[in-house]
Chain A
Amino acid sequence: MSGPGVVWYLGIAAFLFGTGALGVLVRRNVLIVLLSLEIMLNGGNLALIAFSRQAGNGDGQIFALSVMAVAAAEVCVGLGLVVALHRRRLALDVDTLSELRG
């Protein structure tokens, strides 16, 4: 195969995943958390495709497609929650939304 080695793709995927994870952990705005979650998913997707290319079969690509479908569904639910929160005039801030604390 020509082109950069799998490692480069994995590196970018890891970078994307890490950025996303950091965003989820650090950012307070709910929408930004959802965005970061998407970035994480995309990082995972990239890793899957890279491995698929390396292995030579299409398993990783199929899996990446189902991940995209799940991601889309999850975004719907997440944005629906955001809209519901906004309708109730609640702050879109994960630190404030802590009613489930023990």
Chain B
Amino acid sequence: MTINSVTSLLVWLPIGAALVVWLLPLSRYATGSLAVLVSLVEVGFWIEQAARFDFGHSGLQFAQRGSWFSDLHVSYHVGEYAFSLWLVGLTVVAMAAAIGYGFWVGRDRSRAYFGLMLLLTGATVGVFVSQDLLLFYAFFEAMLIPLYILIGVWGGAGRLGATVKFLIYTMTGSLLMLAAIIVYGLQAGTFDLVDGPTSASRWLFLGFMFAFVIKAPLFPFHGWLPDAYREAPPEVSAVLSGVIAKAGLYGMLRIVLPKFPDPSSYYRTAILALAAASLVYGSLLAFRSPDFRGVVAYSSLAQSGLIALGLFSGTNLGLDGAVLQMVAHGLVSVSLFLIAGAVERRTTTGELALLGGMARGRPALATLLMVVGVISLAVPGSASFAGEFLVLAGAFQRAWWWAAIGAGAIVLAAMYMLRLISAVLHEARGSVVTDDALDLRAGELALVVPLAAVLLALSAFPAGISHHSFAGDQPTSAVQGQFR
């Protein structure tokens, strides 16, 4: 097995494992163990890829190509760039944590559940490694199926409405993107991303952007976000916010920016305005949100805005910062949702008005929530600060007011995150916090502590990602050269 086929392995191994889980009548324990094992194997394979990746070399690495619809010039073309390597890493790590959480908590109908989680893993990795538009679309939609079922079956009280809204919102965008893909592919004569030409068509740009702007999401297309994040099971919210949202932003980086340079410039101010609006709006609504998950959900909206700000700033600093922030925020968001899940399991609610005083007697919970919380608010020295600083420095080079808005958002982030931390940990004990609500157990710690450790390591060395996301660390040239 060559190193190039590891990419396909990363996509199809979990999908194959999902089939195994669905077909074989394994016990709940065996199913869960298999799923956890597969997810850890995925992480192992990714580490090997990362170790062998050549960061100085431009162009696609670990590529594989096979024909699919040869008359339409559609091929099975997968491969990785440096930034997609990091996002694949984020995916496999986040999914491992989520599957671990599902195993720890114990979900009924475990074969269905773990099969769907594995399918989701494979589909998401597929999104990040596809280099053909139809293949990309197939995986993009394939991500939705397991999410729809996961939210709809294992979610909270309002799950049906939430999942239908989520599905229809996302599919509307995706259908527009499909139309754009078809027009682009037929016009260009090929659906391949690496070989395909640029296009000056604004309609195609809008078609693609519509899908990604709903996926990310950006204001005002975020109507699906609060309900989906609140009603989904905690580990699914974690994956939604930490990984799936990044798929939308990745699409902007991989497809829209290189293939539509002129429309990108034309609409740049509008997109930056939407991104800035998401940043401020998300932060304000997080500040007023009455429950734990609401704060993290709206914070996610704000961070998507920040990352989009970096992507569309069109500067080296902005692009590097955006990739760094994608990884950093992904990890932070997964950790926060898992901690939220842990709190909800113990107290049956996430309502901040009913929580409080959980720090006393629960040092592990308090330490973890505090560490992840301050990294989330981008305390200087953290990885998310490094990402945010680069993004805003890049945005400043575009125009000073974007950076000024971002700087205001720094203060807002401090406000809402500290409010969350205090409402959960400090002051008097909440009415739902009983003595039965124990500290975090070894299983939960085994899930969140590694994530926090990676975040701390990244905080000590953010150049690891920021300097190694684009060939030779020249992002704008890489985008202009369509990553060839």
A contacts B: CB pair < 8 Å: no
On B, residues with C-beta under 8 Å from A are none
